[in-house]
A and B are shown apart, each in its own frame.
Chain A
Amino acid sequence: MNFMLQFLLITPVLACLAIIIGAPAKRTALFSSLIGLISTVALAWGFDAEAEAFQFITKIPVAEHQDLFTLHFHLGIDGMSLAMLLLTSVVTLSAVCISPEDIKRGKLFYICLLLVSLGAVGAFVSLDLFFLYAFHAVALIPTFLLIGIWGTHDRKFAATQMTIYLMAGSLVLLAGLLAFYFYLPEPTFDLVEIQEMLQGDSFTAEQQSVIYPLLLIGFGILIALFPFHSWAPRGYATSPAACVMLHAGVLKQFGFYGLIRLAVPYLPDGIAQYLPLLLVLLLCNLIYIGFLTLTQKDLNLMLAFSSVMHMGYLFLGLAGMNAVSINGMVLLMVAHGLSTALLFGLAAEIRERAGTLHFAELGGMASKAPWLAFLFIAGGMASMGLPGLGNFAGEVMIYFGAWKGAEHHPILYIVIILAAWGLVISAIYMLRAIKTVCYGSLSDSLRETEDFKDFAQAFPFLLLLAGLLLTGLCPWILSNWMKPVLVGLGLE
């Protein structure tokens, strides 16, 4: 089974080459992402949830020189990577599914989509920090092209702004990784070696206070932490549906993935030292961005702001710094990825039918397109945190975990109480969006609307919804996978 991870990485590359040579673009991309999903499920099947070590290891030496670096192409997964991989493959498949076959310059479009997905997969399976970083950045330029060519409104500005912002974030992150590397007793980028090396003792508080802020700002820019969030709403609102599904759904989670991998186990003092700052910023994400979300008059912009806002909960999980809150974080990362992808995908469907996403011009969709409306309501409910869907499970665990963490940092009690208002805010804007779009008098723009013609059209959305239900009703699957990870992180 060890070849499975390479296989996951090679499939999209081969698919890209096939598209360049002249294979039908959409079908090839669909085929490749279907294979991706099947092999990820197979991985989950063969995954040993008890084992503490990384599984499906591949290690190929790439560079070895004392003045350059000792790098290994080191692949492997644990429970957390597996959860992210499943998220990636599900979102990739549905993103490819909902993209039109006759899109202009289809070859380039599907190549870019596959590359974005490849970057995410590569980042989640890499056990070498160099490749983890490099794979994440693979997505940068394809995203730029996707938004610039197939986006809407002021796509040119949005794409440039987003790419430069993310590049800046990546470079700050790189500085953080270099700090991490050089402070190690024996510098290495290999996560497994780092784990063995830092067993028990970690960096000194002084070193942590250098590394952690760099990582927090670097990852924070990639995640859209306030005040580095301004690229996200505009970028997401203008980008084509498939791209935003992958970016907001999957790539943004990479930042948390990195923080959990590096900051939680090795930089606890750093996190504690900068906790007040982080708490203020996450409250800004929840409350300030939440209020901004309330004022949006366009569905896509509202979803984009809402996605940024929800990052606040995830940071709250990080602030909690215990097994429950980190477990909740991973759960919410998956659920948020699925629900965001679902909502953005549906928004694209609505735009295709109505030609607009302004709330003022939408209304009464439920009477014309009940399935579309049902899915939209389900997505909205998930995003609001309705019990039974994944987000609820994640958010509850984060709140419980944070409450537990507040024993060490009493300030957290206040923050949790304030953050709870985020739930209210998101309920207000989501319910209002659902009311405006689905109910009320039928708007002119939706008069000719048709529902999904067949199962195939609704399939990508049902797939995402199924994922949400699965994480919501059976969160223990993920928690079981996470148990050994949490032990490895030193939290249990």
Chain B
Amino acid sequence: MEFLKELLNLLRYPEFGILLLALLLLGYESLRNKTKSSWMAPFSMVGVAVIFALTFFYPLQYGMHWDGLYNLDALALFFKRFFLAVTFGVLWMGMVFEKKLKYGRDEFFVIPLFTTVGMLLLSSAVDFILIFVGLELVTISFYILVAYQREKQTSLEVGVKYLIIGALSTGFMVYGIALLFGLVGSTKLADVNTYIAYNEVSAMLLFSLLFLIVGLGFKVAAVPFHVWSPDVYEGAPTPVTAFLATASKAAGFLVLLRLFKFDAFGVDKVQESVSLVFAMVGCFTVLLGNFVATPQRNFKRLLAYSSIGHAGFLLLGLSTLSNRGVSSVIIYLVVYAIAALLAFFIITHLASKIGGYEISKFSGLSQREPLCAAGLIIALISMAGIPPLAGFVGKFSVMAALWENGNILCLAVAIIGAVIGLGYYLRVISVLFWNDPLPETEKLEIPLASQAVVVVLLVSLVVLGIWQTPLSQLLAWITGPTPS
């Protein structure tokens, strides 16, 4: 009985809820009558929605759990909700994309759940072992998802690329963790913190830091560890690309925040060198992402490079390692995720009807499908950081953090990056709005429910840009005293 009680108790934590959901769905899938249509998509979506809602209503126990492995604080809870919301959106896209899949339609709704479990664990992980397990769960399930359309050669190719690069980055991570363990004798972030506070900064410590940054740099696609991302974004199924661009990137930044601001290395001694590394990597990432996005002809590839650019902005915000910088990273992640989800949501719906992701295929969309065009233009303007949309609030707070920190060079780079960025967003907008529709096109029909999602995301981008109260309250909650 005690054991059962313990098990039931586990379900209070959303990751175990999602895990149970995924296992139940797998069971259902193996037992169900294959001749009838599947209920996987609605089941998984309802499950995620219910668990998302429960995080608000169910009494959660804040604080450390399991011998200091797992910390449930406001930051963790916020990111758990963030990941659950993104997963819901991705599953919805999956429902639309499902028709294009030849194999494994059912599992397409289960594997993302395992990814989500990994991300949810990561949000709370304050021990390198759990961080590593969480990251691996995320990465391994992405190996499957990226190569999902295995009948396509490109899909296999990007699968292999992602596998090799992923394994390499994991190697770096493990190396870094091992070095650190050798120094500190513990894998807990808090112990690392204490160690650094009372000891000299040694070359070994800096080495391990470097390895950790490189490992996480692969995850967030920071230059020069970005080479995998354009190919993978282009070749992966669109919902998976959306998942990679939003949740996976956020997971990487979450770990960076935990490591370098909140838990492990939040000590002045190492911050200077860390800050310099982030600033340099961030500058290169902003410039390269935005420059190389400019000539892209494929919309997914363009979004891939633009997401590299956004990672650069996030790194610049992080490089200040100040409270304002951390806040700007959180704000930026939220508003970028909304815009990216909106863009991917729309192109998932459109791609099957207009036959591909070439930007030229979107020609004259504003006349054929005004709502989708409106959604895309709002998403793109928000990403470009033009007021009064939410994206501007993100860019604004990053720039403010840089100014406050006195990092004028980075600020100049951010401005240059943003101006170049506008160039390619404008190109897409001009195709959508200036051009006339291609002649041989059928009528596009977007389901009513999806239209509602587009409207909600679109309106939230506009509203958050003008009325930032939700964002400021969110920040106050995250950075404020730990709720009990």
Contact = CB atoms under 8 A, between A and B. Distances in A.
Contact of B366 (A62, A108, A181): A108
Given A64-B472, A175-B415, A164 B434 contact: no
B352 interface: no
Chain A, interface size category, equals 35 or more
A469 B415 CA distance: 43
B323 A67 contact: yes
Interface string A142-181: 0011001100000010011001100110011011001101
Interface stretch (B43-51, B190-198, B245-253, B418-426): B418-426
B469 A149 contact: no
B426 A160 contact: yes
A63 B472 contact: yes
A62 B468 contact: yes
Contact of B419 (A138, A171, A181): A171
Nearest to A165: B419
A134 B465 contact: yes
Contacts of B422: 163-164, 167
B367 A105 contact: yes
A137 interface: yes
B474 to A, nearest CB: 9
A135 interface: yes
Interface string B406-420: 000001000100110
B426 A144 contact: yes
Interface stretch (B179-187, B209-217, B353-361, B385-393): B385-393
Contacts of A66: 323
Interface stretch (B116-124, B271-279, B394-402): B394-402
A65 interface: yes
Nearest to B427: A160
B387 A134 contact: yes
Chain B, interface size category, equals 35 or more
A64 B377 CA distance: 29
B244 to A, nearest CB: 28
A175 B386 contact: no
B73 to A, nearest CB: 17
A167 B391 CA distance: 14
Given A108-B366, A175-B403, A178-B400, A164 B469 contact: no
A167 B426 CA distance: 11
Interface in B68-86: none
Contacts of A178: 399-400, 403
A160 to B, nearest CB: 6
A137 B384 CA distance: 12
Contacts of B438: none
The CB with the most chain B CB atoms within 10 A, among A65, A69, A105, A156, is that of: A65
Given A171-B419, A179-B403, A182-B403, A62 B426 contact: no
Contact of A148 (B323, B386, B434): B434
Majority DSSP secondary structure for residues of A touching B: helix
Contacts of B392: 134, 137
Contact of A160 (B327, B415, B430): B430
A156 B471 CA distance: 37
B381 interface: yes
A137 B326 CA distance: 26
Given A171-B415, A174-B396, A65 B403 contact: no
A63 to B, nearest CB: 4
B331 interface: yes
B471 A68 contact: yes
A135 B423 CA distance: 21
Contacts of A64: 472
Q: Identify the 8 closest CB pairs spanning chains A and B, nearest first.
A: A134-B387, A67-B327, A63-B472, A63-B468, A65-B472, A137-B387, A134-B388, A178-B403
19 contacts: A62-B467, A63-B468, A63-B469, A65-B327, A67-B324, A68-B397, A68-B468, A68-B471, A71-B468, A141-B377, A141-B429, A149-B434, A160-B423, A164-B419, A164-B422, A167-B422, A171-B415, A174-B396, A179-B403
Given A134-B392, A134-B465, 17 more contacts: A62-B466, A62-B467, A63-B469, A65-B327, A68-B324, A108-B433, A137-B386, A138-B387, A141-B377, A145-B434, A160-B423, A163-B422, A167-B384, A171-B415, A175-B411, A178-B403, A182-B404
